[in-house]
Amino acid sequence: MTARSRSELENTVAAIWVEALGVSEVHPHDDFFDLGGHSLIALDVIDQVQKRTGVGLRFSDLQRARTLASLTDLIAGEMNEAGGERE
């Protein structure tokens, strides 16, 4: 996977959240669960993140990294450490 800027990655994750949550926009410090996210939506988000970034997340990752900014940081870290995939 090619390197992405943090803002490009955050925009990708934000688009996934907007689509999955049915909201008009999200901001870096918005909390996934406060925006109406729940386990079934989380599964869709995890699937879309995998498809669009190559990074496989777990539900516990989304519980721990609840904001757009923190989830983006987690995904960026996974991309840097594992070349886009988690073992």
Mind listing the pLDDT tens digit for each residue in 63-74? 999 999 999 999
Average pLDDT along the chain: 90
Distances, alpha carbon 22 to alpha carbons 25, 35, 37, 40, 71, in Å = 9, 9, 10, 14, 18
pLDDT value at 87 more than 90: no
| Structural domains of the chain in order of their starting residue, each with its CATH number | 6-81 (1.10.1200.10)
The burial class, CB within 10 Å (0-12 / 13-18 / 19+), for 12 is middle
CA distance 24 to 21: 9
Residue 86's pLDDT is 43
Q: Give the Cβ contact number of residue 25 at 10 Å.
A: 8
